[in-house]
Chain A
Amino acid sequence: GNSVTQMEGPVTLSEEAFLTINCTYTATGYPSLFWYVQYPGEGLQLLLKATKADDKGSNKGFEATYRKETTSFHLEKGSVQVSDSAVYFCALSEGRAAGNKLTFGGGTRVLVKP
């Protein structure tokens, strides 16, 4: 079955540091890939997505590139802020034929210190 593996946290950074969160996936088809963010006490918010190989998703300074050859979708941000402290989830969806459900990784907690 499908699965998503992401680096375990917590990841602790200083403000303005570079952030990378690794994500790799296993899927039988050609999934769409997503990064979601969860702030304390809240639900999930879509951060960015990519629907095909070599696509780059970007939003709010975050970027991730869909790498089919390495089955990866690593999240990066060049200069983090305290407000980026949250839990980040990598996820995939195999589309309508597989029911469009999302398969999530275990999440990576990021703590940015001033």
Chain B
Amino acid sequence: DAGVTQSPTHLIKTRGQQVTLRCSPKSGHDTVSWYQQALGQGPQFIFQYYEEEERQRGNFPDRFSGHQFPNYSSELNVNALLLGDSALYLCASSPGTTAEGYTFGSGTRLTVV
């Protein structure tokens, strides 16, 4: 079982650019949630996708958007990157919209310069 797979593992972008991060959920999981973890802080909820729709959203601007595909994989897009977007982006999958079965990926480290 491959667990949750995220790509790329590291990424460097310039302010103002756009970025796409990808997540493949654990086998049997149909729900994907994204979290942002700034250095030295706890993860913060960005949004959750289930049945290809955004079901819940945290306190993040519209520059953050996502998508879920029929195979349950997901993308996180961030437009007009700011220095403050530098963080570890974590994807978590679960069987259904429950927090109790979350499996986290290892994350994508995004650095904005």
Interfacial residues, chain A to chain B (CB-CB below 8 A): 4, 32, 34, 36, 41-46, 49, 51, 89, 91, 93, 95-96, 99-107
**B84 on interface, CB distance cutoff 8 Å:** no
- Which residues from chain A contact B16 at a C-beta distance below 8 Å? none
Q: Which 5 A-B pairs have the closest CB atoms?
A: A104-B42, A99-B56, A93-B99, A43-B104, A101-B45
- Which residues from chain A contact B102 at a C-beta distance below 8 Å? 46, 102
Interfacial residues, chain B to chain A (CB-CB below 8 A): 4, 33, 35, 40-45, 48, 55-56, 58, 90, 92, 94, 97-100, 102, 104-107
Q: A100-B94, A106-B41 are in contact. List 18 more A-B contacts (CB 8 A).
A: A32-B99, A32-B100, A43-B104, A49-B100, A51-B100, A93-B99, A95-B99, A99-B48, A100-B56, A100-B97, A100-B98, A100-B99, A101-B56, A102-B92, A105-B42, A106-B40, A106-B42, A107-B41
* Residues B43 and A44 in contact, CB atoms below 8 Å apart: yes
- Which residues from chain A contact B45 at a C-beta distance below 8 Å? 101-103
Distance in angstroms between the alpha carbons of A51 and B105 in the assembled complex: 23
Distance in angstroms between the alpha carbons of A101 and B106 in the assembled complex: 18
- Which residues from chain B contact A100 at a C-beta distance below 8 Å? 48, 56, 94, 97-99
Q: Which residue of A lies closest to B44 (CB)?
A: A104
Query: CB within 8 A of B97: which of A46, A99, A104?
Result: A99
Q: Which residue of B lies closest to A96 (CB)?
A: B97
Distance in angstroms between the alpha carbons of A100 and B56 in the assembled complex: 9
* Residues A93 and B44 in contact, CB atoms below 8 Å apart: no
- Which residues from chain A contact B4 at a C-beta distance below 8 Å? 43
